[in-house]
Amino acid sequence: MLKKYLKNLLLFFSVLLMFFLAGQIWFGSYFLPDGYSYITSSIHSHIINPIQKWFDKGHEAGFSQNMKVLLKPNKIVLNHSGNRVMIQNGHPDFEKVRSFSDEFIYKVLTGEYSVRIKETISTDTYHSLLKGKTIYVDYGKDCDFRLFSSTLCDQSSNLLSEDISIVSGYIIGLHDSVMNDVSLYITDKKSNTAYRYIIEMNKNALDAQLQEYLAGASTGNILSYSFELNFHKEQENSASKVLFDPLILLDLMPSEIPSVQMLGTEEEHRSRFEEMTEDVLEVFSINSRTMRRYTDLENARVFVENNATLTMYPNGRLEYQTVQGSRGLDISNSTDRTNYDVSRAMADSVDFVAALCSYMPETYFEHLQISSGLVSQTERQTSYKLSFDYCVNGVPVRWQTEDGYHAAIEMEVTEGYLTSYRHCLWGYKAYEGERQQCLPLLTAADQLVNTLHNGTEPLHIETADYCYVVEEAGAVVPKWYGRVDGVERIFE
Partner 1 sequence: MNFWVKEGNKKSIYACLKLYQEVLQLVMKKYISRICVVLLTLVMLMSMAVSAYAAPDVLPAEVESTVEGLLTLKAPEQLITSTDNKKLPISATVPEGAQVTVYRFDAVTGCYHKIVVDDVPMETTVGATMLYAGQVDLTTGNNKFLIRGGWDDSVYIVVKFEVNLLHIGFMDRIKGVISSIFN
8 Å CB contact between 409 and 283: no
Amino acid letter, 262: M
| Between 159 and 242, CB nearer to partner 1 | 242
Instruction: List Cβ neighbours of 28 (8 Å cut-off, separation of 6 or more).
Output: 287
Rounded least distance, CB 194 to partner 1, Å:
21
| Between 51 and 252, CB nearer to partner 1 | 252
Rounded least distance, CB 488 to partner 1, Å:
20
Rounded least distance, CB 236 to partner 1, Å:
9
| Between 58 and 220, CB nearer to partner 1 | 220
Rounded least distance, CB 97 to partner 1, Å:
21
Rounded least distance, CB 255 to partner 1, Å:
14
8 Å CB contact between 461 and 446: no
Instruction: List Cβ neighbours of 204 (8 Å cut-off, separation of 6 or more).
Output: 180
Rounded least distance, CB 131 to partner 1, Å:
7
| Between 255 and 290, CB nearer to partner 1 | 255
According to DSSP, the β-strands at 242-244 and 459-461 are parallel
Interacting residue ranges for partner 1, rule: CB under 8 A: 81-82, 131, 176-180, 221-222, 224, 228-231, 235, 237-242, 250, 252, 442-443, 445-447, 449-450, 453
Q: Which residues of 212-229 are buried (b: 16+ CB within 10 A; e: fewer)?
A: ebbeeeeeeebbebbbbe
Rounded least distance, CB 95 to partner 1, Å:
28
Map 101-117 to HEC letters: HHHHHHHHHCCCCCEEE
Rounded least distance, CB 232 to partner 1, Å:
10
Rounded least distance, CB 76 to partner 1, Å:
20
| Between 186 and 448, CB nearer to partner 1 | 448
Rounded least distance, CB 235 to partner 1, Å:
6
| Between 264 and 440, CB nearer to partner 1 | 440
| Between 230 and 383, CB nearer to partner 1 | 230
Rounded least distance, CB 347 to partner 1, Å:
42
Map the chain to HEC letters: CHHHHHHHHHHHHHHHHHHHHHHHHHHHCCCCCCCCHHHHHHHHHHHHHHHHHHHCCCHHHHHHHHHHHHCCCCEEEEEECCEEEEECECECCHHHHHHHHHHHHHHHHCCCCCEEEEEEECHHHHHHHHHCCEEEEEEEEEEEHHHHHHHHHCCCCCCCCCCCCEEEEEEEECCCCCCCCEEEEEEECCCCEEEEEEECCCCHHHHHHHHHHHHCCCCCCCCEECCCCCCCCCECCECCCEEECCCCEECCCCEEEEEEEECCCHHHHHHHHHHCHHHHHHHCCCCCCCCEEEECCCCCEEEECCCEEEEECCCCEEEEEECCCCCCEECCCCCCCCCCCHHHHHHHHHHHHHHHHCCCCHHHHHCEEECCCECCCCCCCCEEEEEEEEEECCEEEEEEECCEEECCEEEEEECCEEEEEEEECCCEEEEEEEEEEECCHHHHHHHHHHHHCCCCCCEEECCCEEEEEECCCCCEEEEEEEEECCEEEECC
Rounded least distance, CB 201 to partner 1, Å:
16
| Between 361 and 458, CB nearer to partner 1 | 458
| Between 1 and 239, CB nearer to partner 1 | 239
